[in-house]
Amino acid sequence: MLIKPQHLQPGDKVATISLSWGGAGDKELRWRYEQGVRRMEEIFGLEVVPMPNSLKGTDYLYNHPEARAEDLMTAFQDKDIKAIFSTIGGDDSIRLLPYIDYEVIRNNPKIFMGFSDTTIAHYICYKAGVSSFYGPAVLTDFAENVEMHAYTIDMINRILFSTNQIGEIKAAPEWTSEFIPWDEGNKNRKRKFLPNAGYEVIQGKGITQGRLIGGCMEVMEFMKGTTLWPSLQSFQNSILFFETSEETPDPSFIRYWLRNYGAQGILNVVNGIIFAKPLDEKYYEEYKVEIRTVLKEYGLEELPVLYNLNFGHTEPKFILPYGAVAEMDCEKRTFSIIDNGVE
């Protein structure tokens, strides 16, 4: 059982941290970081503190993974900091592993949130025995052009600020993955949102429950064979969640990666799987074919699978607390978290 961190409340001090790409500190992107910080302050009433190395820029942070890890340790050790928010993902959080003190995290549980390459940090928390939160990042969701999306705001309030059972997570009414260059001249240009079709049942019947575990598929490939990779028992009776990155991997990779989960025995012990909407809905149908193909290969045609959920590389997004009990209803096409995320 993972330790649940304490809930947030207005006035709390929160840290921002750059564990992979250091773009938040680059001169041309600093405005966007500051826009995200203003939203945290004005919408949620938080006091935001950047970690000492987090804004030193792309080159410095690439060359100093130990500095990134030091920020993470500092944020967890600081008793005044109640939550840690990732500025952005990237592709090399895996280089932090030699510099992590898991006892520091276990002894100082607090909210940690991010997505994409931040998957690595989530499994650092997982290994330390602390629940973390797969969700919005500063430069993307908090700093959304023109305004934060109401769906994302609602999810942050429901999941991080409230100790109540989270309940049903309805599909976002609209979505976007349009990329408008992060030039300050574009800050008032709203992205185009499209109607969202809602959740889709790929296979399975009835209702199933399980504890949440998962992440970005490409990043989870980095972890296989390392000390971070969870035991088979960690996946037992779970609901496994997967999303894919902005690189929109070829459908064949979904097949290869899922076969590995099958070969490890993971697919045979989970209670269900949820997949996020792919970026731009590219390969939307092709991914479904690969998922069904691999599950059939392992005799799992009845395993419940929900598709097109809003927690990946599209906006707006909801938040998934690692280790929380979730429920999939294939008849009603619903997804719920029947647990509280925070104490």
Across the chain, which has 343 residues, the per-10-residue mean pLDDT values are 97 98 98 98 98 98 98 98 98 98 98 98 98 98 98 98 98 97 96 98 98 98 97 98 97 98 98 98 98 98 98 98 98 98 98
Same domain, 38 and 87: yes
Per the domain annotation, does 6 fall within a domain?
Answer: no
Q: Can you give the residue range of the structural domain that contains 204?
A: 174-337
Domain contains 126: yes
Are 186 and 160 found together in one domain? no
Residue 200 pLDDT = 98
Which one of 165, 196, 222 terminates a domain? 165
In a domain, 319, yes or no: yes
- Counting residues of the chain whose pLDDT is more than 90, the rounded percentage is 100
So what's the pLDDT on residue 212? 99
Same-domain check for residues 218 and 126: no
- Cα separations in angstroms, 228 against 118, 125, 167, 195, 280: 13, 10, 30, 38, 31
Tokens coding 125: 């928390």
Q: Say whether both 52 and 80 belong to one domain.
A: yes
Q: What is the pLDDT of residue 100?
A: 98
Q: For residue range 294-327, list pLDDT tens digits in order.
A: 999 999 999 999 999 999 999 999 999 999 999 9
202/314 same-domain check: yes
> Which pLDDT score is estimated for 80?
98
Q: Say yes or no: 179 and 324 in one domain.
A: yes
Domain count, the chain: 2
pLDDT at 22: 98
The rounded distance, in Å, linking the Cα atoms of 161 and 37 is 17
pLDDT value for 206: 97
Q: What pLDDT does 8 receive?
A: 98
Q: Round to whole Å and give the CA distance between 326 and 210.
A: 6
317 and 289 part of one domain: yes
Neighbours of 157 (CB within 10 A): 13
Is residue 261 domain-resident?
Answer: yes
> CA 215, CA 222: separation in Å to the nearest integer?
12
Q: Residue 116's pLDDT is what?
A: 98
